[in-house]
Amino acid sequence: MKCPFCAGTGTQVIDSRVSEPGGAIRRRRRCLSCQKRFTTYETVELRLPQVVKTNGTRSEFDITRVRNGFQRALHKRPVPTEFVDQAVDRVVARVLSLGEREIPSRQIGEMVMQELYALDKVAYIRFASVYRSFQDVSDFRDALKEVEAPGRRPRK
């Protein structure tokens, strides 16, 4: 660990404790060269899988793209940001729980649609219309029947 003050490489850990949320370890350090103190945080680094797009190209999983999909679908809808953040976190957790090195973009889109279905039916229809490339009114009608049927989940 380099000292942020003198760039010395020798540091000593003075104190370690778990941070408030529990997702990191907070360490107080002292530089052995200049004796100044500073704080570092140690967190888990999770490797998200590569996304395989429908045309076969691969790209890094981008949480921002998932969040943007939610925000576009939920534009001017009465859904609190907190709920959107939780839905995005659930999608990321599901992607991580698969433990795969690659994941098809279609699978991520289906996860987003399931979350939108639970959050807001109008947003679900908006997202599905773009995601499934609705061609005519009958596609919308089918999606509306899906939403209106009690106890039904979105089709895959």
What's the mean pLDDT in 89-103? 92
What single DSSP character describes residue 132?
T
Distance CA 145, CA 32 (A): 69
Q: Where are the beta strands (DSSP E) in 44-142?
A: 50-52, 58-60, 102-104
pLDDT digits (tens, 9 = 90+) for 13-32: 999 999 777 778 999 999 99
* Nearest to 98, CA basis, from 62, 150, 41, 46: 46
**Residue ranges of domains in the chain:** 11-43, 50-148
**Which residues on neighbouring strands pair with residue 38, listed in sequence order?**
29
In the structure encoding, which two tokens stand for residue 12, read together? Answer: 């000593």
Average pLDDT, the chain: 87
**Contact 119/91 with Cβ under 8 angstroms?**
no
Average pLDDT (54-67) is 93
pLDDT band at 147 (very low <50, low <70, confident <90, very high): confident
152 confidence band (pLDDT: 50, 70, 90): low
84-104: average pLDDT: 93
pLDDT in tens, 102-146: 999 999 999 999 999 899 888 988 888 877 767 777 777 777 777
The reported pLDDT for the residue numbered 155 is 55
Does the pLDDT of residue 11 top 90, yes or no?
Answer: yes
**The pLDDT of residue 150:** 60
Lowest mean pLDDT among 41-50, 52-61, 92-101, 108-117: 41-50
